[in-house]
Structure 1
Amino acid sequence: MKQKLIAAFMPLLVLVLVFSTFATNGVSANTGNENLELATLQGDFDLSSSKAVKVMVELQEESIVGAKHKGKKQSKQNLKSARDKVKKEVADRTSKSKVEREYDYVFSGFSLEIPANEIPSLLAAPGVKAVYPNVEYTTTEVVMEEEFSPEMVDSAPFIGSNEAWDLGFTGEGVKVAIIDTGVDYTHPDLDQNFDDYLGWDFVDNDADPQETPKGDPRGAETTHGTHVAGTVAANGQIKGVAPDATLLAYRVLGPGGSGSTENVVAAIERAVQDGADVMNLSLGNSLNSPDWATSIALDQAMAEGVVAVTSNGNSGPNNWTVGSPGTSREAISVGATQLPYNVYDASIFTSEGVEYPSSKVQGFPSDEALTDLDENEYEFVYVGLGASQDFEGKDLEGKIALIIRGEYPFVDKATAAKNAGAVGAIIYNNVAGEMPEVPGMAVPTIMLTNEDGLKLQEELAAGNNTVSFDIEFNQTVGETMAGFSSRGPVVDTWMIKPDVSAPGVNIVSTVPTFDPANPHGYGAKQGTSMAAPHVAGAAAVILEANPEWGVYEVKSALMNTAEKLIDPATGEEYAHNSQGAGSIRVVDALQAETLVNPGSYSFGVFDKKKGKQVERQQFEIQNLSNKAKKYNMEFSFKGEVGKHVKVSTSKNLRVNPGKTQKVNVNVQVNASKLEPGYYEGHLVVTEGDTEIQVPTILFVGQPDYPRVTMVGATALGNNEFEIYSYLPGGADEFEIWVFKATPDGGLGDYVGDVLYDADLGKGYNYHDWDGTLVDGTQLPAGDYILAAYAKKGNLDYAVAAGDVLTIE
């Protein structure tokens, strides 16, 4: 039976990035006697371990912003007094603890280092509301060096930024906080966007939020924050979306581009207090959960009037891959798109009887450069790997460079060919299979499989050294979702994420050169990290155009006016949890006369076995114009689901100029008549020729989120290990399996079971393991890979660890 189960779930075993963090399972007690209440613990920590861990402690005393928006008075002095009292209590109750950072504005509490086995004492301390893990955050950039191209078209004009500039809106007077790896504020395209106050460095705790330079003994140099800042507001050789915005830099990710919750929360808090109007967080982790200290801080920042923009993550294209803080309830989460491009078919000819069926266009600098090759014959010259030195002593002027894949990025090979005088290149694979398309190559480049490339080499050896091309236009592909862009929904809240999308593939922006003699640095990066600052810049432009707008007007305007994207593979709109409301359009957003808030929402889960289940919700229609408007509203759902989902709301509504009207919604679902699953629809609001489509979703039965998303093990020595796993919704049944590792680090034969457990809560779980199977068999020395299996309700899932574990 076990072998059948393993075989059934082998297709579900996927590699995940494993990083060190702590458990986050909601645990609390309510006895009715407040003197006996424990604080909420977000996680199943290994409470038997004396190992020091870092946590975020939230106090019962409200933060300044939290109290303000509940109509209560709060002061820094009162919070300090409450915090000091809790700190003393914690010190008295624990043998060894160390307070790190303290918070009072958007988060009430402090970060703390404490032995894990003393966390129960922390939970019992009066004044403590909750304890969260101090997780690691990294930049959400996709590193695919071979596919980078420095010749991509400008993405800011594509979303309408230049049209907004023509209207006089450039982000002037709006402050945008870049919470990232720091920013090279000396870059000639950025230095004019900074005032005397630059921001703050939370890594080194000083007023110089510069990027990590080359040669830092703590780790690799960084360029990410400068790239993000350039997309927002560069104003030099390239222009960002809001070129006249004022920038504030907050360095929270240090050498190598990683950092912790305590610094991110501290930066959010300081940015709000520094008067930021917009903040951009192009960072994240892989955990799909809305309840983190970072999310609380972002929610409060939005409540305080700061537009918070965050990347959605780069773990797509499957659903449920969105990671924190993209899971935030209030912040604007952003997915990544690829700009439109033309597709051409290409065939090549050398001599009769020799065919190259794999011939495809890989990339080109312009349509004209590619079509100029059509029906022309050229001499081709083999230049090996295509490094600059491979062209030395060879005549490539007006010829075609034949290059083999490997060692160097595709774009570098094409650039070297152009510099040598070549008018095109043919790159063939060094292994079986196909290669990726790379828009924007320096010369028109045709790609071949390894088999066809070797045919060309044979032709060259036989003296057939000329090649002709047949180039034909195929189609124009519109803006598309990037495959790497993470998808929602969010576990627990079941919210649609991302909220909107923006260009994020091969985006050219500013980067530090770390060379004063050559300060103008530019580079191409891709990821939702690159998409988010398009939205942050757009928010700055919108706020300049509409200074009276609050954060939710900005968010709704971006969502309500976004352009729905079509998946070229299906000819239909991408799913809501792929594109959100669509790709942003700046001018449409800043000129919106009607807003529907929220800009998307989930009706939640309907799982009543018999009869009909009714849920009640509410949305708002805001008339920004100077005349009364009449609106018609209706809900539509795809397919047969509409027969069993009834939504009742006002059909017609009059809203006076400058007023907002709340609209009640009753949703009735007969779940017994529907197959379990995820269903999409729209709230369609029409007024005259204006139509706003608000994405909506609902679930019938248990949502199909992955029951386990991470597993790994920490070696403690002497074949003792600590196994950790992440369960987004907990598990009724839980197992750890072990497989032999293949030489290349893949899954080999199934060996047996390491442990069984049951009734685990959501979040991280820790288990000690001594290298034996459940039957007591000691594993022989060798390399192994663990996999976790979890079942919750009637759905189960399995996932393999990304790292090889060694038994000695």
Structure 2
Amino acid sequence: MRNVAFLLIVVWLLVGFQSPGADEEVTLIFEVEGSSKLAAGEIESRIPRVEVLAVYDTIFNGVAIKGKVKELEKIARLDMVIQQYPVAVYQALYQKTEPFSTDRLRQSLSSSYTGKGVKVGVIDTGIDYHHPDLAGNYRGGFDTVDFDDDPMETVGYGETLHGTHVAGVIAANGKMKGIAPDAELYAYRALGPGGVGSSVQVIAAIEEAVEDGMDVINLSLGNDVNGPDWPTSHAVNKAIELGVTVVVAAGNSGPGAWTVGSPATSSEAITVGAYSFPEAIPTLTFPGEKKVVALHTLMGSKTWDLTKKYPLIHVGIGDEEIMDAKGKIVLFERGVIPFSEKALKAYRSGAAGVIIYNNEKGSFQGSLDGVNIPIPVAAVSRSAGKWLVEKGINENQWGETKFKEVEENVAPFSSRGPVTTTWDVKPDLLAPGVDIVSTVPGGYKALQGTSMAAPHVSGAVAVVKEAHPEWTPSQIKTAILSTADVLEKEGRLFQPTEQGRGVLDIEESINPSFLISPFALNFGRVKDEFFKKEIPIKVTNPTNQTFDLYFEQPDKKAGVTWRMPSSVSLSPGQSKQVDIHLQLSKTFVEEGIHEGFVTIRAGKDVYHIPFLYMKETADYKKVSGFELTKSMNTNHQLQYRFYLSENIERIKVALYRAGTMFHQGEIFKAENLKAGMNKGVISSDGTNLQGTYIAVVTVENNKEEEEYTFPIGFE
């Protein structure tokens, strides 16, 4: 498919839509029946004024076509067309800014495996293949943004570094050592300037990577659609079916539930959330005070290493000259003046350190934008800043830095599951994703996000693949998830939708002492008054010794009955099926998500299988991805498309003018709609809709109503 031209055209999702004019050129992906190559030829023959940008025939039968709206409307009506998709935006999933996390993980390895001979494809912003830590392992790739053989990071305007950072975690081999330092690196640039790309490029990149024979694909990108039926999720599943292990970042939309986005919603992929290592964080306090304020250093700041007591000075937002700051901690309010300018002004005034407090409720993260300032700069919440002003300024006390030990933790930004309609537990596991130092063009940098967690797992997959070249993606996933270490805090296990099976353990993944499949017990929605479901699991003893498994039921709850064997004996190499039964009396079950772990003991080893069931009134979005556009061939019709996570009795859509909230009218209503993608055409009654609107979507089930709002734009 490298012989076709390619162009980036994007439509923003979930932030409003624009309806193109009939003569405007746009790009759509058409899913087709039968051969996509034959379909492309027929389309070019019958509608010659359109341009075929890409033909997908490995992991998805479809074509990406650019043309005028009125021409694309003709294609949409062809019998061969199953579905058409807008070109969704995917963004690199990272957030902010110390030793290499890969070193901390690799030091625990006694194995000599380094990923040698394993091909790893990084679908991202490209790779700086000139970086001395990456040049030796780089083998090539492809650019689906510019559609050439040069997948270099974007330079100049909109310059990027994300893909180089991801690649370093996987397979750097220089000053930095990645998890798999001898793996063969391939870059597939699907995200262009600013780290933004489209579903056309992402699907094309997956296809290129599969055709190039990758053993592993890393996707540190995603969107906000919490559903399993998006085209990229299907593409990921197909790639896995063809023998490639695919690792996907869960997303950075946590800590709320239902925030995992496609393609991390893929049932077959290894979806990775982020956690932080145990660390000592700096805090500031005053003599005689029990309260301490945690200091979060800005990205690009030096470490907060002040050891003496210092007086504080409050200078507002920093719009005036700072006087008498020598040897003091300068306290700024956030706003108007850039962080780097505030910090530079304080440094030039002789300050020992800088604290910036928020100008609104809550905390924040920030960056010094590459400015090298030799004093530490930290951020705190608004309430913490006011307390520092009260105690440090008004009561004239000197602040003292103390360090607080913090346990390993699930990163608050890490997206949580479950996945709508399938009710899958996601993420599958956790890996380091906070303050991860890795390669970037020109050196090294600390970033955080699930984008940084996923490549730790991709590197681990490469190591496992070297050790067991005959293993399938399913076997590799089973080994990695079976051996993850469950994460707890203060004696409480984090929930399955926060951590999956737990934290990556590379050493155990290479030589697992016990295997469980599937990794989670997804009982789904409880609809019947008396609910019964049985899930078989497969337990395997890959060792050369016999051992007994002992099953422990979850804590008892009213109306909930579990049945499972109390013990199972496994001979060397033996596998057995074990049935886990759940029976519920719906009357006694509280609303919402119910999750936890079934515990299995094997000698001194303890394993945990996540479980999840949900009463039908659980709080998840019933409607997502609502689109409303003018018809391609007339201004008097509107096309709608939306995704339902469950069957709906009634739905109605009202349109309001943005800003004034003037009621434009009820434009659509329907009954008894099925879960999944719903679309159609409605009349606009000759009304010329222009500008921005708010669509209020009301759904009704069991006499209960829920409302959702979506911004809509018309030209």
C-alpha separation between the residues in 2 aligned to 1:723 and 1:360?
52
Q: Is the 8 A contact 1:625 1:658 kept in 2?
A: yes
C-alpha separation between the residues in 2 aligned to 1:433 and 1:704?
25
Aligned residues: 686
Indicate the SS of the match to 2:698.
strand
Q: Is the 8 A contact 1:565 1:582 kept in 2?
A: yes
Q: Which residue of 1 aligns with 2:147?
A: 205
C-alpha separation between the residues in 2 aligned to 1:651 and 1:411?
61
C-alpha separation between the residues in 2 aligned to 1:92 and 1:783?
38
Cα distance, 1:767 vs structure 2 = 6.1
Q: Which residue of 2 aligns with 1:253?
A: 191
How do 1:789-804 residues align onto structure 2 when only pairs under 5 Å count?
789-792=698-701, 796-802=705-711
C-alpha separation between the residues in 2 aligned to 1:749 and 1:347?
48
Name the aligned partner's letter for residue 589 of structure 1. Answer: S
Q: Which residue of 1 aligns with 2:5?
A: none
Change in CA separation of 1:789 and 1:275 when aligned onto 2, cut-off 3 Å: same
TM-score, with normalisation over the residues of structure 2? 0.82
Indicate the SS of the match to 2:108.
helix
How do 1:71-220 residues align onto structure 2 when only pairs under 5 Å count?
82-87=35-40, 98-112=51-65, 115=71, 117-118=73-74, 121-122=77-78, 124-125=79-80, 130-131=82-83, 133-143=85-95, 148-149=96-97, 152-158=98-104, 160-164=105-109, 167-195=111-139, 198-215=140-157, 220=158
Task: Specify which of 512, 516, 541 is matched with residue 592 of structure 1.
Answer: 512
Indicate the SS of the match to 1:581.
coil
Q: Is the 8 A contact 2:92 2:196 kept in 1?
A: no
Q: Which residue of 1 aligns with 2:644?
A: 728
C-alpha separation between the residues in 1 aligned to 2:171 and 2:579?
40
Work out whether 1:705 is the aligned partner of 2:620.
yes
C-alpha separation between the residues in 2 aligned to 1:49 and 1:782?
19
Task: Specify which of 240, 246, 270 is matched with residue 332 of structure 1.
Answer: 270
Q: Is the 8 A contact 1:56 1:134 kept in 2?
A: no
Give the gaps of 5 or more residues in structure 2. 1-11, 369-373
Change in CA separation of 1:624 and 1:484 when aligned onto 2, cut-off 3 Å: same
Q: Which residue of 2 aligns with 1:525?
A: 447
Name the aligned partner's letter for residue 644 of structure 1. Answer: V
Change in CA separation of 1:469 and 1:117 when aligned onto 2, cut-off 3 Å: closer
Change in CA separation of 1:581 and 1:750 when aligned onto 2, cut-off 3 Å: farther
Q: Is the 8 A contact 2:435 2:448 kept in 1?
A: yes
Task: Specify which of 498, 501, 504 is matched with residue 581 of structure 1.
Answer: 501
Cα distance, 1:751 vs structure 2 = 4.4
Cα distance, 1:331 vs structure 2 = 0.4
Work out whether 1:757 is the aligned partner of 2:675.
no
Change in CA separation of 1:83 and 1:140 when aligned onto 2, cut-off 3 Å: closer
**Per-residue deviation, residues 673-720 of structure 1 (Å, max 9, x unmatched):** 434432223233322112210111123336543112344655899998
Change in CA separation of 1:705 and 1:796 when aligned onto 2, cut-off 3 Å: farther
Indicate the SS of the match to 2:265.
coil
How do 1:377-396 residues align onto structure 2 when only pairs under 5 Å count?
377-378=310-311, 385=318
Name the aligned partner's letter for residue 154 of structure 1. Answer: F
Work out whether 1:646 is the aligned partner of 2:583.
no
Name the aligned partner's letter for residue 755 of structure 1. Answer: I
Work out whether 1:615 is the aligned partner of 2:569.
no
Change in CA separation of 1:751 and 1:416 when aligned onto 2, cut-off 3 Å: same
Cα distance, 1:598 vs structure 2 = 1.6
Q: Which residue of 2 aligns with 1:57?
A: 31
C-alpha separation between the residues in 1 aligned to 2:681 and 2:13?
19
Change in CA separation of 1:405 and 1:705 when aligned onto 2, cut-off 3 Å: closer
**Per-residue deviation, residues 171-208 of structure 1 (Å, max 9, x unmatched):** 3332211011211111222112213xx11112222111
C-alpha separation between the residues in 2 aligned to 1:404 and 1:299?
48
C-alpha separation between the residues in 1 aligned to 2:366 and 2:103?
21
Work out whether 1:537 is the aligned partner of 2:459.
yes
Change in CA separation of 1:55 and 1:383 when aligned onto 2, cut-off 3 Å: closer
C-alpha separation between the residues in 2 aligned to 1:412 and 1:510?
27
Q: Which residue of 1 aligns with 2:200?
A: 262
C-alpha separation between the residues in 2 aligned to 1:21 and 1:379?
51
Q: Is the 8 A contact 2:427 2:500 kept in 1?
A: yes
Cα distance, 1:210 vs structure 2 = 0.9
Work out whether 1:498 is the aligned partner of 2:415.
no
Moved more, 305-314 or 600-609: 600-609
Cα distance, 1:330 vs structure 2 = 0.3
Cα distance, 1:293 vs structure 2 = 3.4
Name the aligned partner's letter for residue 106 of structure 1. Answer: I
Q: Which residue of 2 aligns with 1:469?
A: 399
Cα distance, 1:626 vs structure 2 = 1.9
Name the aligned partner's letter for residue 300 of structure 1. Answer: K
C-alpha separation between the residues in 2 aligned to 1:453 and 1:665?
54
**Per-residue deviation, residues 583-618 of structure 1 (Å, max 9, x unmatched):** 223223333211101212312233223xx4443432
C-alpha separation between the residues in 2 aligned to 1:484 and 1:399?
33
Work out whether 1:626 is the aligned partner of 2:557.
no
Give the gaps of 5 or more residues in structure 1. 1-14, 23-45, 61-81, 350-354, 513-519, 743-747
Cα distance, 1:360 vs structure 2 = 2.4
How do 1:673-688 residues align onto structure 2 when only pairs under 5 Å count?
673-688=588-603
Q: Which residue of 2 aligns with 1:282?
A: 220
C-alpha separation between the residues in 2 aligned to 1:771 and 1:481?
52
**Per-residue deviation, residues 127-149 of structure 1 (Å, max 9, x unmatched):** x7x43525424124255xxxx33
Change in CA separation of 1:386 and 1:310 when aligned onto 2, cut-off 3 Å: farther
Name the aligned partner's letter for residue 543 of structure 2. Answer: S
- RMSD, matched Cα: 4.4
Moved more, 225-234 or 792-801: 792-801
Indicate the SS of the match to 1:369.
coil
Higher-helix-fraction structure: 1
Work out whether 1:369 is the aligned partner of 2:319.
no
**Per-residue deviation, residues 745-800 of structure 1 (Å, max 9, x unmatched):** xxx7674743341134532546668699xxx9x99x99754432233456543233
Cα distance, 1:575 vs structure 2 = 2.2
Indicate the SS of the match to 2:239.
helix
C-alpha separation between the residues in 2 aligned to 1:545 and 1:407?
55
C-alpha separation between the residues in 2 aligned to 1:91 and 1:445?
58
**Per-residue deviation, residues 92-142 of structure 1 (Å, max 9, x unmatched):** 7778665432233333444445856445643x33xx7x4352542412425
Cα distance, 1:262 vs structure 2 = 3.4
Cα distance, 1:368 vs structure 2 = 8.9
Change in CA separation of 1:739 and 1:161 when aligned onto 2, cut-off 3 Å: farther
Cα distance, 1:230 vs structure 2 = 1.8
Q: Is the 8 A contact 1:139 1:224 kept in 2?
A: no
C-alpha separation between the residues in 2 aligned to 1:523 and 1:794?
54
Work out whether 1:563 is the aligned partner of 2:537.
no
Name the aligned partner's letter for residue 398 of structure 2. Answer: S
**Per-residue deviation, residues 376-395 of structure 1 (Å, max 9, x unmatched):** 355869697499xx88xx89
Q: Is the 8 A contact 2:554 2:598 kept in 1?
A: no
TM-score, with normalisation over the residues of structure 1? 0.73
Name the aligned partner's letter for residue 631 of structure 1. Answer: L
Name the aligned partner's letter for residue 214 of structure 2. Answer: A
Task: Specify which of 279, 284, 290 is matched with residue 346 of structure 1.
Answer: 284
Change in CA separation of 1:211 and 1:131 when aligned onto 2, cut-off 3 Å: same
C-alpha separation between the residues in 2 aligned to 1:135 and 1:782?
22
Indicate the SS of the match to 2:240.
helix
C-alpha separation between the residues in 2 aligned to 1:453 and 1:716?
58
C-alpha separation between the residues in 1 aligned to 2:515 and 2:245?
17
Change in CA separation of 1:551 and 1:488 when aligned onto 2, cut-off 3 Å: same
C-alpha separation between the residues in 2 aligned to 1:56 and 1:493?
25
Cα distance, 1:248 vs structure 2 = 0.5
